[in-house]
């Protein structure tokens, strides 16, 4: 397998560096990274130099040099890339994109080209182009697409030690929304917390130090035991008075809405944990 990567951002460079650093024989087959193509020649060179692979000035040259293509561009560009490469000789090639929200249906008419396609999404935070590869071996992956592509790509990544989950194409958007709640939205909630602590006189540095053990402990508890067992706090206790005080002190309407909306979700969790507890007062407040 010779892998060409189209897109030299965080995902593409992480994959390239990770794969280039693995023994050339994995998953029962030989593989290598052919190199990179992207819109910017500077980003192509940077990716190629960092991964010790080849920089391609033309996309069709990369396509010809590869039997497997990883499209790691932003979501809005994937269809455009496909329209371009679909004109090339693709018979027998594997075409994979790494979007969390798009399905393999973006490869319109792929059967007519003789290629096989799938989408691959690592449930992983690509936080930095030059360091994210270091922990990528811990990522679990989700795939959907044509059976021919899945029969190749699933065992390939499993051979590298990854757990691979197959989902239905129709569930891709819901799957991605779930990932966003657990990652990006957590950053948003942290921003709200930091803002409130800033109002109390904390610097951001001190606020982050203050929140660190609380946040890490809570996340670990959820991951180990699930949200029902891990839930603590005023809503779980049925402390309507404290919840009302929180709402009273939140000056911005959008922050109050966030508090109330998530509070209603937590109320449902609390009722699972304490089915005999009366949460009527909290329900009225939220």
pLDDT at 160: 92
Alpha-carbon torsion angle 146, 149, 150, 152, nearest 10: 160
pLDDT at 226: 96
Per the listing, tokens 């602590």 go with 197
Q: Which residues contact 82 (CB under 8 A, 6 or more apart)?
A: 71, 95, 106, 107, 108
pLDDT at 88: 83
| Tens digit of pLDDT at every position of the chain (286 positions) | 999 999 999 999 999 999 998 866 555 668 999 999 999 999 999 999 999 999 999 999 999 999 999 999 999 999 999 999 998 889 999 999 999 999 999 999 999 999 999 999 999 999 899 999 999 999 999 999 999 999 999 999 999 999 999 999 999 999 999 999 999 999 999 999 999 999 999 999 999 999 999 999 999 999 999 999 999 999 999 999 999 999 999 989 999 999 999 999 999 999 999 999 999 999 999 9
pLDDT at 234: 96
CATH 1.10.1040 residue ranges in the chain? 182-285
User: Are 282 and 265 spatial neighbours (Cβ–Cβ below 8 Å)?
Assistant: no
User: Are 44 and 38 spatial neighbours (Cβ–Cβ below 8 Å)?
Assistant: yes
Q: Which residues contact 74 (CB under 8 A, 6 or more apart)?
A: 7, 9
Phi, psi (rounded to 5 degrees) for 26: -150, 155
User: Are 4 and 63 spatial neighbours (Cβ–Cβ below 8 Å)?
Assistant: yes
Per the listing, tokens 């790691």 go with 72
Pairing relationship of beta strands 29-30 and 25-26 according to DSSP bridges:
antiparallel
Q: Which residues contact 139 (CB under 8 A, 6 or more apart)?
A: 122, 123, 124, 162
- The residues that bridge with 103 in the sheet, in sequence order, are none
pLDDT at 24: 60
CATH 1.10.3470 fits 182-285, yes or no: no
pTM of the entire structure? 0.87
CATH 3.40.50.720 fits 2-171, yes or no: yes
pLDDT at 25: 59
pLDDT at 177: 96
What span, in angstroms and rounded, lies between the C-alpha atoms of 16 and 51? 6
CATH 3.40.50.720 residue ranges in the chain? 2-171
């Amino acid at each position: 397998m010779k892998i060409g990567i189209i897109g030299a951002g965080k995902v593409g460079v992480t994959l390239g560096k990770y794969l280039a650093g693995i023994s050339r024989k994995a998953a029962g087959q030989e593989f290598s990274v052919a190199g990179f193509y992207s819109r910017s020649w500077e980003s192509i060179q940077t990716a190629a130099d960092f991964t010790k692979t080849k920089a391609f000035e033309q996309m069709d040259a990369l396509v010809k040099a590869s039997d497997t293509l990883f499209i790691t561009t932003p979501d809005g560009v994937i269809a455009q890339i496909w329209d371009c490469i679909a004109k090339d000789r693709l018979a027998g090639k594997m075409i994979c994109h790494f979007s969390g929200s798009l399905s393999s249906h973006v490869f319109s008419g792929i059967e007519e080209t003789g290629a096989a396609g799938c989408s691959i999404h690592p449930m992983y935070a690509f936080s930095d182009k030059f360091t994210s590869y270091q922990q990528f071996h811990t990522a679990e992956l989700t795939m959907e697409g044509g059976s021919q592509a899945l029969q190749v790509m699933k065992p390939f990544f499993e051979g590298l030690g990854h757990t691979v989950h197959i989902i239905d194409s129709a569930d891709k958007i819901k799957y991605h929304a779930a990932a966003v709640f657990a990652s990006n939205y957590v950053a948003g909630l942290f921003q709200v917390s930091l803002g409130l602590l800033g109002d109390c006189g904390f610097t951001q540095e001190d606020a982050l130090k203050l929140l660190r053990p609380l946040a890490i402990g809570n996340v670990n508890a959820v991951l180990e035991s699930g949200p029902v067992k891990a839930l603590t706090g005023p809503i779980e206790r049925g402390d309507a008075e404290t919840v009302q005080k929180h709402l009273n002190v939140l000056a911005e309407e959008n922050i109050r809405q966030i508090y109330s909306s998530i509070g209603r979700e937590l109320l449902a969790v609390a009722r699972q944990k304490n089915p005999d507890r009366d949460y009527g007062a909290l329900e009225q407040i939220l």
